[in-house]
C-alpha cells in the first residue's frame, strides 16, 4: 500500500527524527537540531532536507527549518511505530536490555515488512508504549494516524499524542494528573465553545478550551479497559520489564 514510499534507511531516520521532535513540542526542526539529533554534519542535513522536500515529505525553508508534510508525518509515524514495537519485541520476547534493543531496533525498523509488523503487534497484544514508556503510534487503519486537537473532538475515546501548551503551569498540572502522550481519555461532555470534560483513571477532569486545544489526540485504536476483570488477572500491556 505504502510501498511506493519505501525510502532509504537514512531518509527514514530523518523523518523519524522529525517525529521525535514533534512529539516534544517542536513542530519545526532546524538544520542544527537535526544534525545534532542524528550526529551528522549540517551540510548533509541541508542536502537531505532538499531531497525530502522534493519528494513532498517535508516543507523546507532554508535558514528557517523544516516541518513534516502530511505525507511525511504518515511515514515518520510508521517508522516510529516499527521502531518502538520492535523495541518491545526485543525486550519482552528476546530478553534484550533496553539500551541494546534501541540500537537493534534502529537497524531492523528499515527492513521489516508492514504485514510482519502488524502481526508482531498483534502477537504482543497491541502494546501502547515502548519499553522506554513512549507511546507507540497506531497502525494505519483507514488512515487514522492523523492527530487533531482534543477541543475539536466529540464524545468518544482518544489517545493523547502531543502536549503543545506553552504554559509551564498547565503542562505540570497535566503531567501530575497523568495527561501525557500515550494516555487514553474519554470525552464525556463538551460545552459548545467552552470546556470539555474527560474521563481517565476513574476521574473526571474539566479542561478549558485553550487547554483542550493544546492536546493533540488521535482516536483510540481499540477499546482497552484498564483494571482486571473479576477473577482474571490481566498483565498490563506496558508493564516495564520485570
Partner 1 sequence: MVKRPSFLRRRETAPEKAHAAGASGNRAPNTSSQQTKDTAPKKIALIGNPSAGKSAMFSQMTGVNVIVSNIPQTTVLVQRGLSRIDKHNVIVYDLPGVYSITAVTEDEAATKEFLLSTPLDAVIDIVDATRLERNLYLTLQLLELDLPVVVALNQVDLLKTLDLDIDVADLERELGVTVIPTIATQGEGMRATLEAAYRYPTTERRAQRRVEYDDHIERAVAAIIPLLPETDLPKRGFAVRLLEGDKNFASRVDARTLTRVNELRDEVEQAHGEDAAITIARGRHATADLVANAVLVRRVHKPTLAERFGDFATRPRTGYPLLVALVGGMLALIFFVGGYLSDLITTFFGDVVFPPFFGLVDSQVANPFITSAVHSTFLALAAALAIAVPYILIFFIFLAVLEDVGYLPRVAVLLDRQAHIIGLHGRSLIPLLFGYGCSVPAIMATRALPTRKERIITTILITMIPCSARTAIILGVAATYAGVPYAIAIYLISVVLIIASGRLLRSVVAGRTAGLVLEIPLIRRPALVPIIKKTWLRMREFLYIAVPLLIVGSIVFGWLDLTGLSRLIEAPLAPITVGILGLPAFTGICLIYGVLRKEMAIEMLAIASGTFIFSTVMAPAQIFVFCLVVTLYVPCIATFGVMVRELNWRWALGGALFTITLALVVGGFAYRALLLA
Residues of this chain that bind partner 1 (CB under 8 A): 19-25, 36-37, 97-99, 102, 129, 131-134, 163, 165, 167, 169-178, 180-183, 188-189, 191-195, 197, 201-211, 214, 225-230, 233-234, 236, 238-240
How far is the C-alpha of 205 from the C-alpha of 216, rounded, in Å? Answer: 17
CA-CA distances (angstroms) from residue 94 to 98, 104, 134? 11, 12, 20
User: Cβ closer to partner 1: 118 or 213?
Assistant: 213
Smallest distance from the beta carbon of 205 to partner 1, in angstroms? 6
Smallest distance from the beta carbon of 44 to partner 1, in angstroms? 18
CB distance 125 to 188 below 8 Å:
no
Smallest distance from the beta carbon of 211 to partner 1, in angstroms? 4
CA-CA distances (angstroms) from residue 170 to 109, 180, 215? 35, 12, 11
How far is the C-alpha of 199 from the C-alpha of 81, rounded, in Å? Answer: 26
Smallest distance from the beta carbon of 12 to partner 1, in angstroms? 16
User: Cβ closer to partner 1: 118 or 182?
Assistant: 182
How far is the C-alpha of 164 from the C-alpha of 181, rounded, in Å? Answer: 11
CB distance 19 to 79 below 8 Å:
yes
Residue 91: partners with Cβ closer than 8 Å, 6 or more residues away = 97, 98, 101, 131, 241
User: Cβ closer to partner 1: 56 or 236?
Assistant: 236
Smallest distance from the beta carbon of 116 to partner 1, in angstroms? 25
How far is the C-alpha of 49 from the C-alpha of 66, rounded, in Å? Answer: 8
* DSSP H or E run through 48: helix 42-54
User: Cβ closer to partner 1: 3 or 176?
Assistant: 176
Smallest distance from the beta carbon of 22 to partner 1, in angstroms? 7
User: Cβ closer to partner 1: 222 or 239?
Assistant: 239
User: Cβ closer to partner 1: 29 or 117?
Assistant: 29
User: Cβ closer to partner 1: 4 or 230?
Assistant: 230
Total residue count of the chain as it appears in this document: 242
Residue with cell 520485570: 242
Smallest distance from the beta carbon of 210 to partner 1, in angstroms? 4
Amino acid at each position: 500500500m505504502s510501498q511506493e514510499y519505501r525510502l532509504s534507511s537514512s531518509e527514514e531516520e530523518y523523518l523519524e527524527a522529525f517525529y521525535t521532535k514533534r512529539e516534544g513540542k517542536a513542530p519545526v526542526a532546524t538544520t542544527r537540531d537535526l544534525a545534532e539529533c542524528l550526529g551528522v554534519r549540517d551540510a548533509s542535513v541541508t542536502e537531505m532536507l532538499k531531497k525530502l522536500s522534493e519528494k513532498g515529505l517535508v516543507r523546507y525553508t532554508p535558514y528557517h527549518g523544516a516541518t513534516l508534510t502530511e505525507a511525511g508525518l504518515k511515514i515518520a509515524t510508521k517508522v516510529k511505530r516499527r521502531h518502538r514495537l520492535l523495541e518491545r519485541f526485543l525486550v519482552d520476547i528476546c530478553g534484550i536490555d533496553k539500551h541494546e534493543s534501541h540500537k537493534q531496533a534502529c537497524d531492523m525498523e528499515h527492513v521489516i515488512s508492514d504485514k510482519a509488523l502488524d502481526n508482531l503487534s498483534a502477537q504482543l497484544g497491541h502494546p501502547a508504549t515502548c519499553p522506554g514508556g513512549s507511546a507507540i503510534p497506531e497502525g494505519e487503519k483507514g488512515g487514522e494516524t492523523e492527530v487533531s486537537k482534543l477541543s475539536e473532538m466529540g464524545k468518544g475515546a482518544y489517545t493523547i499524542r502531543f502536549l503543545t501548551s506553552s504554559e509551564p503551569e498547565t503542562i505540570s498540572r497535566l503531567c501530575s494528573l497523568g495527561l501525557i502522550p500515550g494516555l487514553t481519555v474519554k470525552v464525556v461532555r463538551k460545552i459548545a465553545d467552552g470546556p470539555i470534560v474527560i474521563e481517565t483513571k476513574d476521574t473526571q477532569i474539566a479542561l478549558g478550551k485553550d487547554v483542550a486545544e493544546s492536546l493533540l489526540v488521535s482516536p483510540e485504536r481499540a477499546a482497552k479497559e484498564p483494571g482486571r476483570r473479576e477473577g482474571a488477572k490481566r498483565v498490563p500491556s506496558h508493564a516495564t520489564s520485570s
